[in-house]
Structure formats: structure tokens, C-alpha cells
């Protein structure tokens, strides 16, 4: 039904989606990953929500920890995880719900970026005000 590229590929998933999926498949909580990487849990949350990205050294450590390639984490191509086909086969509606959730996350990310641009513009306007 779905293959790995459809589920975790660049058109279907973000870096954060792939990180969260691989971390969960590895049986690791956000807190556990943060502790092992030497970062705060909020940093992991930020990465998984695509609000920021890790530096190369953390990315390399993380990929090894969750047993996927760096390229897969970044692009969805290469050695990574299999798509959760069994869930889609058992309840086809899950694929629709997952797709809708991914769309909502994309919209939220776009709105967050828009809000950040407006906030920056407002700050500049306030600095220039008499």
C-alpha cells in the first residue's frame, strides 16, 4: 500500500516526523534521547516539531542511536525505517488521518514562520518609533 518513500519521504514527512518516528521505533522517549545527546528535552521537542535542526555532531550521534542514516533523517532517502504498513492495512482510515495530521503540521509550521516574520517586523517598527 505505502512504501518507505511514500510514508517518510520528502513529500510526506519532515525531518521532525522522521526523527519522532525513528525515536519511537527505537523505544526511546524524548527525555531519554535528550539525556543521551546531552541536550534539553525542549531541544528534542523543537527538532521533532521542525522549529529548529540539530548541528552535524548531534545529528550524527542521533542517527547512530536510533539506527538510521543521517541522509534518511534529512531527506527520507537511504537507510531508515519501514513504513507502518500493518496499521494502514488493518484500518485504511488511519492513512487518511495521518495524512491530514501531516497537512495540519505543515500549515502550523507555515503559520509559525509567518508569525515570526510579523514579530520581527513589529520589533523593527517599535525600534524605529519616536
Please provide the CATH number assigned to the domain covering 4-128.
1.10.260.40
pLDDT in tens, 25-46: 888 999 999 999 999 999 999 9
pTM: 0.57
Q: How far from the centroid of its chain's Cα atoms is residue 115's Cα?
A: 20
Which of 3-17, 89-103, 113-127 is predicted with the least confidence, judged by mean pLDDT?
Answer: 3-17
- Residue 110, C-alpha cell as written in the block: 507555515
pLDDT in tens, 6-22: 556 555 678 888 899 88
Q: Where are the domains of the chain?
A: 4-128
Amino acid at each position: 500500500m505505502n512504501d518507505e518513500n511514500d510514508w517518510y519521504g520528502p513529500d510526506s514527512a519532515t525531518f521532525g516526523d522522521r526523527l519522532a518516528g525513528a525515536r519511537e521505533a527505537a523505544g526511546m522517549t524524548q527525555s531519554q534521547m535528550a539525556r543521551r545527546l546531552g541536550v534539553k528535552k525542549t531541544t528534542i521537542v523543537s527538532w521533532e516539531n521542525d522549529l529548529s535542526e540539530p548541528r552535524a555532531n548531534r545529528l550524527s550521534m542521533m542517527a547512530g542511536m536510533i539506527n538510521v542514516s543521517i541522509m534518511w533523517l534529512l531527506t527520507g532517502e537511504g537507510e531508515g525505517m519501514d513504513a507502518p504498513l500493518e496499521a494502514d492495512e488493518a484500518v485504511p482510515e488511519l492513512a487518511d488521518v495521518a495524512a491530514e495530521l501531516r497537512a495540519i503540521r505543515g500549515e502550523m509550521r507555515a503559520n509559525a514562520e509567518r508569525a515570526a516574520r510579523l514579530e520581527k517586523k513589529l520589533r523593527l517598527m517599535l525600534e524605529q518609533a519616536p
